[in-house]
Amino acid sequence: MQTDDRTDDGRSDPGHEPNGELVAIHDVVLEIAFPEGSLPRIGDALSIPRPGGKAIIAEVRSHSAPGRVRALALDNPAGLHRGLDVIGTGKPLPIPVGESVLGRALNVKGDAVDHGDPIEADRHIGIEQDPPAMVDQRPSSEPYETGIKALDLLVPMPKGGKIGLFGGAGVGKTVLVMELMQRTITHEGGVPVFAGVGERTREANEVYLQMEDQGLLEDSVLVFGQMHETPGARFRVAHTALTVAEHFRDHDHRDVLLFIDNIYRFAQAGMEVSALLGRIPSEIGYQPTLDLEMGKLQERIASTTQGSITSVQAIYVPADDLTDPGVVAAFAHLDASGVLTRDLASRSFYPALDPLRSSSSLLNPRFVGEEHARIAQRVKTTLAEYEDLKDIIQILGIEELSGEQRTTALRARRLERFLTQPLFTTERYTGQKGVSVPLEETLRGVREILDGHHDDVPEQAFYMVGTIDDVLDKAQTFKDEDDDPGAPSSDRRDLEDDREGGGEANES
């Protein structure tokens, strides 16, 4: 991590404390006058003592006129008035880092928000840092096995890389982020850092309580900038979390797992900040510096000779439009992109990952091996052919297809269902125990489905199970129930399967 000669112990350096005066307040944008020769730098933190209350922290965003700066309040500016003294800290906002923040929930300023004792850290670091030098970075091509069939097969995630989970509201992004968080912490070790960017308070509370219940909180760090907070807080909270992660990587030489939910809210907060500062927006409202701001954040998420940062990022897609500039800005920085669709979610196919729109730079024989790459390509080809046949099936029924087309459609339907699985994070809601599937078992199961070894197995047996052996066990259970006069018949299950699968005609 790049550092400068400013103090990092969290105290204001007396040599860098120019006194300013608050001369104008425009909501969360503060206009401050400073004496000649003592103008603070862009990115420096300012402290504004509030009468009868805690000091407001603001961050310099522009030099608006000679002797004047515009600063963005990171706290609610209620209680401020013109004429108040402003103290420059002479450095970017310092936050506590290291062992003292493990097991804690912080805000953008590094203050505890978990009702625990104040954090007493030996070291504080400014949240404005440069990315690692190019020669110090160590990109990895080793896949990060998650135990989630759809991800491991079709969107392999590199250790020390970045994966984005794209989707509209309600398709399961946050659930999948939490699932990956639990699995990687449990099986891979490392230091997990979670950044809640612009999400609802309820979701932050759920994350905190869930990690506490699962015994994962003690070795984790949670950083929240919630939906009701100022645009400045929501815009900078990801940098706070990243600074915590960088310290574990560079100072403690540890591998870090950085989870960000939601990176689109970072872009959205930047849009609000830009508008408040009076910048001319782009044609559809985004800030002109969107790509720059996204790049400054994403380029810091890197693996170096000191350690690695593996990042999982949820990315909200407004109106399900993947061409939205806020979404596109994140695409270029990711090693893998998983697209979650409303169609699959509406059919209760979870994770609702679309194999045809998802991609990974690792899905190459050089990185995952010939067999894995070949099977993944066969899956995509089969599902693409099935997609082309859906209109015919819905109008005429599957019986009107040719023999080869019918076989393709039936195997594709089995693949869709086999790529679903119960998740650990949803056990309390579904009552179904989560499963983790080794990559070898995923490849074996998919290969056998593609080769037609299980064409006679009912489709419903493939839904929400782990391995192909679990499919066969479930099918045997169905057979035993069919032999029981009081149990639901296979015809009834087939009908339910049709409803689940979008009303397509059944194979029988």
User: Could you read off the pLDDT of 441-469 as tens digits, one per residue?
Assistant: 999 999 999 999 999 999 999 999 999 99
Return the structure tokens found at 176: 């999948």
Q: How confident is the model at residue 400 (pLDDT cuts 50, 70, 90)?
A: confident
List alpha helices for 420-467, DSSP H.
427-430, 439-450
Residue type, 270: G
Q: Please identify which residue in the block is written with the tokens 């099936």.
A: 393
User: Could you read off the pLDDT of 195-250 as tens digits, one per residue?
Assistant: 999 988 888 888 888 888 878 888 899 999 999 999 999 999 999 999 999 999 99
Phi, psi (deg, nearest 5) at residue 446: -65, -40
3-state secondary structure of 148: coil
The Cα 501–Cα 145 span in angstroms is: 29
In 238-357 the beta strands, taken as DSSP E runs, fall at 256-261, 309-316, 336-339
User: Could you read off the pLDDT of 38-86 as tens digits, one per residue?
Assistant: 899 999 999 999 888 889 999 999 998 899 999 999 999 988 999 999 9
CB within 8 A of 264, min separation 6: which ones?
A: 315, 316, 317, 318, 326, 327, 330
Residue type, 450: L
- State which of 178-187, 206-215, 294-303, 485-494 shows the largest mean pLDDT: 294-303
User: Could you read off the pLDDT of 249-287 as tens digits, one per residue?
Assistant: 999 999 899 999 999 999 999 999 999 999 989 878 899
Q: Of the residues 61, 70, 173, 413, which is catalytic? A: 173
The Cα 488–Cα 275 span in angstroms is: 60
pLDDT at 485: 59
Portion of the chain with pLDDT greater than 90, in percent? 67
Domains belonging to the chain, first-starting first, are: 14-94 (2.40.10.170), 148-361 (3.40.50.300), 370-500 (1.10.1140.10)
User: Could you read off the pLDDT of 26-48 as tens digits, one per residue?
Assistant: 999 999 999 988 899 999 999 99
CB 46 within 8 A of CB 71: yes
Return the structure tokens found at 135: 């020669």
User: Of 235, 252, 54, 263, which is closest to residue 127 (Cα–Cα)?
Assistant: 235
Q: Is the pLDDT of residue 3 over 60?
A: no
CB 329 within 8 A of CB 294: yes
Q: How confident is the model at residue 499 (pLDDT cuts 50, 70, 90)?
A: very low
Q: How confident is the model at residue 489 (pLDDT cuts 50, 70, 90)?
A: low
Q: Is the pLDDT of residue 10 over 90?
A: no
- DSSP label at 198? S
Return the structure tokens found at 45: 């933190």
Residue type, 169: A
Q: How confident is the model at residue 11 (pLDDT cuts 50, 70, 90)?
A: very low
Q: Is 497 exposed, middle or buried (0-12, 13-18, 19+ CB in 10 A)?
A: buried
Q: Of the residues 128, 199, 293, 441, which is catalytic? A: 199
| Exposure string over 202-231, b if 16+ CB within 10 A, otherwise e | ebbeebbebbeeeebbeebbbbbbbbebbb
3-state secondary structure of 388: helix
Please provide the DSSP assignment of 186-227 as one string: HHH-SEEEEEEES--HHHHHHHHHHHHHTT-GGG-EEEEE-T
The yes-or-no answer on residue 109 being catalytic is no
pTM of the model: 0.87
The yes-or-no answer on residue 200 being catalytic is yes
Of residues 22 and 400, the one with the higher pLDDT is 22
The yes-or-no answer on residue 199 being catalytic is yes
CB within 8 A of 476, min separation 6: which ones?
A: none
Question: Within 13 Å of residue 146, how many CA atoms lie on the same side as its CB?
Answer: 28
Question: What are the CA-CA distances from residue 495 to residues 84, 332, 348, 374, 504 (Å)?
Answer: 71, 43, 16, 34, 10
Q: Of the residues 54, 82, 138, 200, which is catalytic? A: 200
CB within 8 A of 388, min separation 6: which ones?
A: none
pLDDT at 7: 38
Q: Please identify which residue in the block is written with the tokens 């003292």.
A: 100
User: Could you read off the pLDDT of 181-193 as tens digits, one per residue?
Assistant: 888 777 777 899 9
3-state secondary structure of 282: coil
User: Could you read off the pLDDT of 366-389 as tens digits, one per residue?
Assistant: 999 999 999 999 999 999 999 999
- DSSP label at 280? P
